[in-house]
Amino acid sequence: MRTYSLPYGRASLDLRLPDHPGWEVCALAPRAVAPAPDPRAAVEAALDAHPISARGASAVVAINDKTRPVPHAVLLPPLLGRLERLGYPPERITLLIATGTHTPMRDDEFPTVVPPEILARYPVFSHDCDDASALVPLGVTAAGVPVSVNRWWREAGLRVVVGNIEPHQFMGFSGGVKSAAVGLTGRATINANHAMMTAPGAEINRYDDNPCRQDVEEIGRIIGVDYALNAVLNDHKQIVHALAGAPLDVMARGIPLLRAIYEVWVDEPFDLVIVTPGGWPKDINLYQAQKAFAHATMIARPGATVILVAECPEGTGSAGYERWMAEHGFQSHAAVLEAYAAEGYRIGPHKAWQIARDATRVNLVFVSAMPQELSERLLLNPAPSLDEAVRRALAALSERVRIAVMPFANATIPVLT
C-alpha cells in the first residue's frame, strides 16, 4: 500500500493506493526548494537592489485578500519602513486590500491578512468593485476594456503593489501589476478583461502572447503602478525569492524563477488523477479550488477520472455562480457550455464554464466539506469520502494504467510533452 498526504484545509487527508504490478503511480509536485535562509533579509536585499523613490505627498500599497497566501508579515515591514524614511508619515500610507470581484473584507477580517502592528499604525481599507462612488474612470484599453480604478489608489502620489508570482490558469501568471489592475478596478473592467479567458493563448504558463495578461499590463499602465514587491514561494508557502522594482522588470526576472520550481514535465497522459489545490487558503472555496481541477485535466487522457479533493469551508465563494446554476437547473455540463456561449461572459457563471469545459472531457469526482445537495446541484459528482472516491475509481481501472497524485496542483504547472 502506498500512502500520500494530501493537504486539506488546514490539515491533511491520507491517500492510500494499493500496490499493483500494472499500475504506474507518479507524484507530481513542485520541486522541493529550501526557503531563503533569512526571508526578511531577502526582502531587504530586493529593495536595496531596486530602490523605491518618493512621488507626491501620499502613498498607497495594494495587498492581496484572504484567498492568497501572500507573506505580508515579511514583505510589508521593510517596504513600509522605507516609505517612512522617504518622508511619508504612517497616516499618509494607505493599505488597500485588493479584492477584485471577491466580497469586500470586513474590518474584523483584516487581521487575517495584515499583521496587528501594521493595522495599528497605518490606515487599511478593503476595495469594493461595485462602489461606483469609489471608482475613477480612466479610459479604454486597446482590447476595448473600460478601465476604472479605486479612487484612493488613483489620488495617491506613489502607487505600490505587493503580492506573489504564481501560475494562473488563464492569465498565465499572477504578480506584477495584477494586484491593482484586477484587484482594485471596477467590476466592468474585470468582467471585460476576464471575458478573454476563452481566447487562444489565455492559458497557464503563457505571458508574452497571452491576450488576457497583456491587457492587464495595459490596465496597469493606465492606472499607474509605480513599483512592485513580489515573492516566489515554495510549496510550503515560504519565500524562496523576493523581487522588487518596476513591475514589468519584476515579471521578467520572476517568471523564470517560478518555472524552475513549478514546471513539471509529463511524457504521457494519465488515466486517474487525484488532485488537491494545496490546502488552505487555496481550497477555501470552490472558486479557488477549481484551478486544481483545470491543472489536472491538462495531463489527463480523455475519459480519465479526476478526483478533486478540496475542503471548501466557505462553500463555492460565488453567489453569482450558485444563482446562475440554480436558475437554469442544468442536468449536464454540455448544457452549461451551451447556455454560457449564448449568454456571454459574466463573473460567477464563468466558473461554471471553467468546470464544464473540463468535466465534459474527463470524469470529475469531488471530495469536500460542502453539502452534498449543493455539490450535486452544481454537477460536481460528490463522493462521501476520499477512500470511497478512490475505491470507485480503482474498481473501474484496467490492468495497466497510469495514476498521478498532485498535492499542490494550484501551484503546479504541468507540461505535457
Q: pLDDT tens across 105-133, in order?
A: 999 999 999 999 999 999 999 999 999 99
At 236 the pLDDT is 85
Alpha-carbon distance of 172 to 214, in angstroms, equals 10
Predicted pLDDT of residue 237: 87
What residue has cell string 454560457? Answer: 340
Task: Find, among 414, 31, 21, 3, the residue nearest to 232 by Cα.
Answer: 31
Structural contact between residues 161 and 217, judged by C-beta atoms closer than 8 angstroms: no
Residue 398's pLDDT is what? 85
Q: CATH fold of 2-32+262-416, please?
A: 2-enoyl-CoA Hydratase; Chain A, domain 1 (3.90.226)
Cα-based torsion angle of the residue sequence 70, 288, 291, 250 in order, rounded to the nearest 10 degrees: -30
Q: Which residues of the chain have pLDDT under 50?
A: none
DSSP 124: E
Q: Are 190 and 99 in contact (CB under 8 A)?
A: no
Name the segment(s) of the chain with CATH classification 3.90.226.30: 2-32+262-416
CATH 3.40.50.11440 in the chain: give the residue spans. 39-233
Predicted pLDDT at 311: 98
DSSP conformation class of 185: B
Sign of CA dihedral 83, 84, 88, 90: positive
Q: What sign does the dihedral 172-212-275-234 (CA atoms) show?
A: positive
Q: What CATH number is given for 39-233 in this structure?
A: 3.40.50.11440
- Check if the beta carbon of residue 177 is closer than 8 Å to that of residue 217: yes
Instruction: Tell me which H or E stretch contains 98.
Output: strand 93-98
Are 184 and 150 in contact, with CB atoms under 8 Å apart?
yes
pLDDT at residue number 4? 96
Whole-number Cα distances in Å, 134 to 84, 116, 127, 128, 129: 26, 26, 9, 8, 8
**Torsion-angle region of 9 (φ positive above 0: left; ψ -120 to 50: alpha; else: beta):** left
Tens of pLDDT, residues 177-227: 999 999 999 999 999 999 999 899 999 999 999 999 999 999 999 999 999
Q: What is the pTM of this model?
A: 0.85
